[in-house]
Amino acid sequence: MSALLPALIIVPLAAALLVALSSRSSARVVDVLGNLGTFVVLGLAVALAVPVLAGSVASWSLGDASPLGISLTVDALSVLMLLVISVDSVAASVYSIAYMEEYTSKAKYYVLFLLMVAGMNMVVLGADLVNMYVGIEVAALSCYALVAYGLGKEYLEASFRYQVLGTVGTLCLVAGIGLLYGRVGTVSFARLAASGVSTVAGIGVPAILILSGLALKAAFMPYHAWLPDAHSTAPSPVSAMLSGVFVKVVGVYGLFRLLFVVFVPGGVLATALLVIAALSILAGAFLALAQMDMKRLLAYHTISQMGYVLLGLAIGTPLALVGALFHLVNHALFKELFFLGAGSVERQAGTRDIGKLGGLNSRMPVTGVTSAIGFFSISGCPPFNGFWSKLIIIVAAVQAGHVGLGVVGAVGAILTVASFLKYEKGVFFGALPEALQNVKESPASMWVPMVVLAVACLALGLAFPWVIEYLLEPAVSAIMIGA
């Protein structure tokens, strides 16, 4: 089983290489190779998940022991993240078959996409901060190029700004990791968890640096400036991956790993996290409400929903952590669904402006229905998945004595419903404008992934006790090792 660990990184890398070598072949070959890569990764992730969720652990290393060599280790949290990454990347890569036809050189796209997947897998499998960081770098570099993929003015501009801000974030993170090492003598997660690091003097500065770096990567307030531009100008499957997976893997995951180790709930740093979470929930939702561009609205929303995840994380009780992880998974599903849907609308109708759209339910029924399911999920409507995750987080907040934060969560939820009502009404309901009379539904390779995601939203909502017991609680136990 431990061979699965390097495989999860080597397979996407190998697939990327194969695609690069076939860049002169037909688009069919490139599509097949690219998607083969993501499907195999999904298979590997599932194969790994079964034993790990049942309780086994595994590790693998190349060269010297951590962290100078490449050291990978897997537990329930890693495997949960792997599942999220691989499900979302399969959805996006299948969607890309048709969507990326309008861009040049699909081969280069798939190469970057697979590199991003390899990097993200390395992040969640890394046994120490250094290996995690290398994964972040690889994924980020691919992302910068993917955001600029259209090579138009806005994309390049958004990408450059993202590169600058993203690198400042990674440098903060590196500085924090280096200083932390200087203080405590280790960067391995296992050793950090075992050693009661949070009581070491002088740990505040590295902790703040690490927090700032990760928060920038996750686009929490007030580090969110790059996100709306990057997510809205990138090609839609890339935006879906960015909002659905990337900000979680390279941002929030690190915080989960360091919870109880460096960030102790109840302490000063955790309080800072709570403030950031509350700000993100409210400001993200408010700003989303004002947007007329479909993708910008969705992008601002990501900031808000990630605030919920952070809220659960910072409260730190087992219930709060279950809620946080559940929301992370749910958001990965419905946000991906929304971005793919927005991409479909833009491709078929030619615009992303909510003011110019309307009544698309009649012309794009599948996109409309799946989008509606996404709406119910994100609005926290039973029996969909979003209802349970938001409820759990709010209840956990109140239970832990943070009634004010519970209220923030509820207000955020109301704002969320408001902006998505605007989204749904403006795009799918109402009158169909003259210009859009001839719009047709997108091709099957684009709506099939959306249907699968929508079904998943419903399934996770209906089966939530099973989800909590078998998927989330093992991950929470893995996080609480450091407690």
**Residues in region 317-356 near other proteins by CB under 8 A:** none
Three-state SS across 294-336? HHHHHHHHHHHHHHHHHHHHHHCCHHHHHHHHHHHHHHHHHHH
Only one of the segments 170-178, 333-341, 360-368, 468-476 lies at the binding site for other proteins (rule: CB under 8 A); that segment is 170-178
Q: CB-hemisphere CA count at 13 Å for 354?
A: 20
Provide φ and ψ at 220, rounded to 5°: -75, 155
Candidate residues 18, 138, 315, 454; the one interacting with other proteins per rule CB under 8 A: 138
Q: Are 127 and 189 in contact (CB under 8 A)?
A: yes
Planar angle of CA 29, 22, 346, nearest 5 degrees: 60
- The least distance separating other proteins from the CB of residue 128, rounded to whole angstroms, comes to 9
Distance CA 306, CA 77 (A): 17
Residue 343 identity (one-letter amino acid) = G
Judge whether 170 and 136 are in contact, CB under 8 Å.
Answer: yes
Q: Which stretch binds other proteins (CB under 8 A): 151-159, 241-249, 310-318, 370-378?
A: 151-159
Q: Which is nearer to other proteins, 227 or 366 (CB)?
A: 227
Q: Which is closer to other proteins, CB of 213 or CB of 323?
A: 213
Residue among 296 and 390 whose Cβ is closer to other proteins: 296
Q: Is 20 exposed, middle or buried (0-12, 13-18, 19+ CB in 10 A)?
A: middle
Q: Would you say 188 or 330 has its CB closer to other proteins?
A: 188
Residue for token pair 């990764």: 41
H or E stretch covering 470:
none
Given 51, 183, 286, 347, the residue binding other proteins (CB under 8 A): 183
> Contact between 25 and other proteins (CB under 8 A)?
no
Counting Cα atoms < 13 Å in the Cβ hemisphere of 295 gives: 27
The residues in 46-65 that bind other proteins, with binding defined as CB under 8 A, are 62-65
Amino acid at 132: M
- Least distance (Å) between residue 178 CB and other proteins: 3
In the list 32, 168, 398, 463, the residue contacting other proteins (rule: CB under 8 A) is: 168
Return the residue of 14, 36, 134, 289 that touches other proteins, per CB under 8 A. Answer: 134
Which of residues 144, 286, 429, 470 is near other proteins by CB under 8 A?
A: 144
Using CB under 8 A as the binding rule, whether residue 458 contacts other proteins is answered as: no
- Minimum distance between the CB of residue 396 and other proteins, rounded to whole angstroms? 34
- Nearest distance from C-beta of residue 435 to other proteins, angstroms: 18
Say if CB 311 and CB 298 are below 8 A apart: no
How many binding residues for other proteins (CB under 8 A)?
75
Token pair in block for residue 241: 């991956």
> Binder to other proteins among 1, 57, 191, 417 (CB under 8 A)?
191
Sole binder of other proteins in the list 81, 125, 127, 187 (CB under 8 A): 187
Binders in 232-271 for other proteins, by CB under 8 A: 233
211 binds other proteins (CB under 8 A): no
| Rounded to 5°, angle at Cα 165 from 269 and 307 | 45
* 336 contacts 453 by C-beta, under 8 angstroms: yes
Q: How far is the CB of 376 from other proteins (least distance, A)?
A: 30
Element (H, E) at 73: strand 70-74
- When the beta carbons of 296 and 363 are compared against other proteins, the nearer one is 296
Q: What are phi and psi of 263, to 5 degrees?
A: -100, 110
Q: Is 371 in the site for other proteins (CB under 8 A)?
A: no
292 binds other proteins (CB under 8 A): no
Tell me if 188 sits within 8 A of 69, measured CB to CB: no
From 31-39, 148-156, 416-424, 462-470, give the range in contact with other proteins by CB under 8 A: 148-156
Measured in whole angstroms, how far is the alpha carbon of residue 266 from the centre of its chain?
A: 26
Q: Which residue in the set 35, 66, 86, 419 belongs to the binding site for other proteins (CB under 8 A)?
A: 66
67-86: which residues touch other proteins (CB under 8 A)? 67-70
**Contacts to other proteins from residues 96-125, by CB under 8 A:** 101-105, 108-109, 111-112, 115, 119, 122
Q: CB under 8 A: which stretch of 36-44, 182-190, 266-274, 384-392 binds other proteins? A: 182-190
Among 373, 403, 377, residue whose Cα is nearest residue 390:
377
Of 72, 80, 158, 476, the residue at the interface with other proteins (CB under 8 A) is: 158
**27 near other proteins, judged by CB under 8 A:** no
- Please list, residue by residue across 447-460, b when 16 or more beta carbons sit within 10 angstroms of its beta carbon and e when fewer do: bebbbbbbebbeeb
